[in-house]
Amino acid sequence: MRETYRKSVEKMPERPVAHRTLSDIAPEPLYTPEDLKDFCYEGKLGYPGEYPYTRGVYGSMYRSKLWTMRMFAGFGTAEQTNERFKKLLKAGQTGLSVAFDLPTLMGYDSDHPLSKGEVGKCGVAVSSLADMEILFDGINLEEVTTSMTINSPANAIWAMYLAAAKKKGYRWEKLGGTIQNDILKEFIAQKEFIFPPEPSVKLVIDTFEWGPKHVPKWNFISVSGYHIREAGSTAVQELAYTLADGFEYVEWALKRGLDIDEFAPRISFFFNAHNDFFEEICKFRAARRIWAKEMRHRYGAKNPQSWMLRTHAQTAGVSLTAQQPLINIARVAIQALAAVLGGTNSLHTDAYDEALALPTEESAKIALRTQQIIAYESGVTHTADPLGGSYYVEWLTDEMERQAMAIIEEIRRMGGVVRAIEEGYFLREIADASYRFQQEVERGERIIVGVNAFQDEGLQVPIQLIDPEVERVQAERLARVRRERDPEAVKQALAALRQAAKEGRNTMPYFVDCALAYCTLGEMMDELRAVYGVYEEPVLV
């Protein structure tokens, strides 16, 4: 083979581009059985639905049940987002995914001075149970699963959701969904933290302890590599850092004395689906195998449900270009196909205009239709793991597993994820990877269509802007909530939450009480700010 290839390139030289994956893995020109000569089918692959789950967590995969199709929705007021939810459900979406605005993500009410100019801009504004009730008005919460992208104030927002369900008569044991609740990746990449790392992780473990007893079908964390990748990491770094975060949460939960087989089945994951087609497929396969091995052999989980890595995926927002936005439809389709061939359990497809603004109703529908074409027209759902056994796919899955485990072991030697955050490890590594990629783009070694090659003016597309009137509507609603609620109930609920935080008790029951008393998000977070303090990221030199 190599001699044949040598002769071929003598006549026709290789193109002068980077023949390397986005993780800087250099594949051979061709793969043969020689590259898998020591490959163990049972140990590396097995069958879908069986350990080590490389080929998927369910035996029949998409022949029995398609992935959950979600579209990220959230903008302006709760009324506006509720209307978008209903339109997406009517268009065939099978699960809701809520984006919150920046003040909500940072634990501030919509009328706080720091919220000015940001209310409703990048997601829906939710400041109290009143907003949550409107957000899901007319939607059966026992029939639709809901994913909420919220981290630092996750306990409070989840409590509001549960309180809204309770007031409508829905049974918590029937509710399904996910809160992201992954504070470690905030310190690593997205930077929407409030409290220092240790009390922040403590709040996450409160949901691990409380969740399985009260909302058993709910995934109380979605360990998220997505934002790590969006910050500029490679696929291998995303894989390694995400799993390292997951293992860190497991270790904190075990230190609290929790039973691993009680909480581990409700841990879910969230990965990026980027442009490098085969690398993305192999990333999902390697993730399931690493998680299964470590949970079974390092942490001693006995329940096969604890070994299964179930994941949501979202196409890469960072790959979308403002130049020629309509060609983002092609990027999203390729990325979504990679996620499906990688065996994702849930999928969100970006809209083509998201590099410019929040998606319009039309662009969101096209993104959903992209998933439906893959599901119903492409034929890739007929068999589980259709690329399994490919010489290249199996070699690349092994190589990504090997490199990711080397990084995970390095983090363990440093003392774990929290210690690595404090030492600035992740910030440096991601910055270096992002810089290398940008240099390759600027040198023309990586072609970005419409950016450093094949440029033209492209078509102008309509964009959706948020009416600044949203701030007035939110301020009036908050004023009404504060005027009509029981002030003594509010005072008692907030005092109980602060005391529970001071004493190190589980905070979730107190968050629910606060939500039912119509305490605002800012009021709840202020109680914890008083106990835990506010984190300021150290300056690295």
Q: How far apart (Å, rounded) are the C-alpha atoms in residues 88 and 393?
A: 35
DSSP characters over 171-213: -GGG--EEE---HHHIIIII----S-HHHHHHHHHHHHHHHHH
Among 83, 121, 122, which Cα is nearest to 467's?
121
Asked if 47 and 55 touch (Cβ cutoff 8 Å), the reply is: yes
For residue 344, the tally of other CB atoms under 10 A from its CB is: 24
The model carries a pTM of 0.94
For the domain covering 51-443, report its CATH number: 3.20.20.240
Short-list 263, 194, 276, 182, CA closest to 225 = 182
Rounded CA-CA distance 171/254 in Å is 29
Cβ(372)–Cβ(93) below 8 Å? no
pLDDT, one tens digit for every residue, the chain (541 residues): 578 888 888 899 988 877 899 999 999 998 999 999 888 888 899 999 999 999 999 999 999 999 999 877 788 899 999 998 998 899 888 889 899 999 999 999 999 999 999 999 889 999 999 999 999 999 999 999 999 999 999 999 999 999 999 999 999 999 999 999 999 999 999 999 999 999 999 999 999 999 999 999 999 999 999 999 999 999 999 999 999 999 999 999 999 999 999 999 999 999 999 999 999 999 999 999 999 999 999 999 999 999 999 999 999 999 999 999 999 999 999 999 999 999 999 999 999 999 998 888 899 899 999 999 999 999 999 999 999 999 999 999 999 999 999 999 999 999 999 999 999 999 999 999 999 999 999 999 899 999 999 998 767 787 777 778 899 999 999 999 999 999 999 999 999 999 999 999 999 999 999 999 999 999 999 999 999 999 998 776 6
Q: Please report, for the chain, the start and end positions of each structural domain, with discontinuous segments joined by +.
A: 51-443
- What pLDDT is attached to residue 230? 97
* DSSP structural state of residue 415: T
- Determine the pLDDT at residue 332: 98
d(Cα 518, Cα 160) in Å, to the nearest integer?
9
What does DSSP say about strands 145-149 and 218-219: parallel, antiparallel, or unpaired? unpaired
- Whether residue 386 has a cis bond before it, omega within 30° of 0: no
